[in-house]
Structure 1
Amino acid sequence: MTETTEGVAVEGVRSTLEGGILRLTINRPKRMNALDLETMGALGGAVTAAGADEQVRTIVLTGEGAAFCTGADLAAAGANPADPNVVMDTANSLIRAIVDSPVPVIAAVNGPAAGVGVSIAVAADLTYAAETAYFLLAFTNIGLMPDGGSSLLVPAAIGRARAAEMTLLGERVSAVDADRFGLVARTLPDSELVAHVDAVAARTASGPRRALALTKEALNNATLPALDDALAFEKAGQIELLASADFAEGAMAMLQKRRPRFA
């Protein structure tokens, strides 16, 4: 019997459950699916709850409209400042929830992924991207450092040299190059992304839940044993940088669409 739950947008996240596949869609298209604190917390909570729900056999993460997730919503953060500790803990909990979920997590990167959006995509077990998508870790462009575990997740996927170029220079990586580098499992024509992800999700949702869970855990233990250390280092460094003059200048320059003038 196929059970279907109609999607309802709650705190910027729309969810639907059908045939054991939980689809979580970041639903802030007017902000290019940039995450405010509430949406980030809601997404992490949804992933965690899904892992404890025996009806859920696979999770698909994607974005509404033209973007996957363009990182933290700096405009929202500026209007309603939150404790940096809370922000970092919420982001880290989201990434940890994706990695720790006992069911396969598939990222359907339908458009730009930036900042923590890259972390969400790469933390997934299977990551597929549309050809028009790109990946961007531009933290240093605004006086910050990579977070969301990306300082570990990205080099674990593509190696230190390419990760250094991606993070230190803050330049976008096209979906085609992401495929070539190994940042994603596969890049597909935009028109084929949904059908491919649906087929993969149907396959994992009908697979042996416990065997898939242990396989995922084994892969993560082998490739991401230092994830907690990376998250802790990123939190400490990012909190320091969030209080810096360089970040204040970088954030203002981005909102004003000009080049920053770092001290």
Structure 2
Amino acid sequence: MTTDDIGVHHDGPVLRITLNRPRVLNAVTEAVLDDLADLVTEAGTDPDVRVLVLSGAGRAFSAGADLGSAAAVTSPEATVQAANRLIRALLAVPRPIVAAVHGPAAGVGCSIALACDLVLASSTAFFQLAFVNVGLMPDGGATLLVPAGVGRARAMALSLLGERLPATTAAAWGLVHRVVEPGELQPALDTLVTRLSTAAPLALTATKQAVNAATLGDLEGALQRELTGQSALLASTDFHTAAAAFLAKETPHFVGR
């Protein structure tokens, strides 16, 4: 367990998990994603845990995959597979999960937030499927999670253009549960978590499973399509050019190969 990268706090019936890599805006590595998946899965078997809260330290929820890590260069496919494992865990765990998003949720960070059952966001937060900006396609189940929330036209625009979606617009589109002012995020989170932790747990579990089955039934197909497409894109010249440009804070030039 990479405890320096992930904060874990048991607060009565609530398990609070915090991404703790603020220097890189909580960008995730294969190891971090695997540890998160382990934590979420284990929480699902703990009878004392009734609600999970996922948040980020510092300015961001998560900026997505850590393109500056060694694994981003040596084994990028493994990072996609680890992300898929986490998404499966978030959707399968028989406990409600709340994502508290106070800043950027980009790339696979956006996918992780949207895989949670309820997203509570600050008005200063934004969501971004930034994959296309580095020559990649959405992954982490985003090709299913986003259309399920906002429909094909909006999902296509978010995916093809890679632009920021302000939290207020995300709420208006039905992508997130609620948006509050920054100073109201913690009180609103506490109220929401208290309500969930005192609700009928069996009913919450059955409801989560039924809604996910009705709306995300093709999860495995989506994850496999993303893995196949992303694997090819990760091997492309465009991605490697874009990754280098990202680290150098330059604009990439895509050539289509």
Is 205-214 or 166-175 further displaced after alignment? 205-214
For 1:77 and 1:145, the matched residues in 2 are separated by 21
For 1:230 and 1:87, the matched residues in 2 are separated by 16
For 2:24 and 2:135, the matched residues in 1 are separated by 22
Q: 1:35 and 1:158, CA in 2 relative to 1: closer, same or farther beyond 3 A?
A: same
Secondary structure of the residue aligned to 2:53 is strand
Aligned AA for 1:16? H
With the length of structure 2 as denominator, give the TM-score of the two structures: 0.96
1:152 equivalent to 2:144? Answer yes
Q: Which residue of 2 aligns with 1:190?
A: 182
Once the two structures are superposed, what CA deviation does each residue of 1:52-111 show, in whole Å capped at 9, x if it has no partner? 111100000000011001100000146x74434422221001011100010000000011
For 1:228 and 1:41, the matched residues in 2 are separated by 18
For 1:162 and 1:123, the matched residues in 2 are separated by 18
With the length of structure 1 as denominator, give the TM-score of the two structures: 0.94
Once the two structures are superposed, what CA deviation does each residue of 1:181-214 show, in whole Å capped at 9, x if it has no partner? 1111111101111111111111111111111100
Which ranges of structure 1 fall in alignment gaps of 5 or more residues? 1-7
Alignment of 1:84-233 (within 5 A): 84-233=76-225
For 1:209 and 1:127, the matched residues in 2 are separated by 19
Aligned AA for 2:14? I
Tell me the CA shift for residue 42 of structure 1. Answer: 0.9
For 2:245 and 2:161, the matched residues in 1 are separated by 17
1:23 equivalent to 2:1? Answer no
Tell me the CA shift for residue 255 of structure 1. Answer: 1.1
Aligned AA for 2:119? T
Which ranges of structure 2 fall in alignment gaps of 5 or more residues? none
Percentage of matched positions with identical amino acids = 47
Q: Which residue of 1 aligns with 2:56?
A: 63
Once the two structures are superposed, what CA deviation does each residue of 1:31-61 show, in whole Å capped at 9, x if it has no partner? 1000012111111111111001111000000
Aligned AA for 2:89? A
Aligned AA for 1:10? T
Do the aligned partners of 2:2 and 2:35 also contact (CA within 8 Å) in 1? no
For 1:36 and 1:122, the matched residues in 2 are separated by 19
Secondary structure of the residue aligned to 1:10 is coil
For 1:154 and 1:184, the matched residues in 2 are separated by 10
Let me know the Cα RMSD of the aligned residues: 1.4
Do the aligned partners of 1:9 and 1:15 also contact (CA within 8 Å) in 2? no
Aligned AA for 1:48? T
Do the aligned partners of 1:44 and 1:93 also contact (CA within 8 Å) in 2? yes
Do the aligned partners of 1:116 and 1:147 also contact (CA within 8 Å) in 2? yes
Q: Which residue of 2 aligns with 1:259?
A: 251
Q: 1:77 and 1:161, CA in 2 relative to 1: closer, same or farther beyond 3 A?
A: farther
Secondary structure of the residue aligned to 1:253 is helix
Secondary structure of the residue aligned to 1:14 is strand
Is 236-245 or 249-258 further displaced after alignment? 249-258
Aligned length: 255
Secondary structure of the residue aligned to 2:31 is helix
Aligned AA for 2:138? P
Q: Which residue of 1 aligns with 2:37?
A: 44
Secondary structure of the residue aligned to 2:217 is coil
Tell me the CA shift for residue 152 of structure 1. Answer: 0.6
Q: 1:181 and 1:87, CA in 2 relative to 1: closer, same or farther beyond 3 A?
A: same
Secondary structure of the residue aligned to 2:64 is coil
Once the two structures are superposed, what CA deviation does each residue of 1:121-167 show, in whole Å capped at 9, x if it has no partner? 11111111101100111111111000000011011011111111111
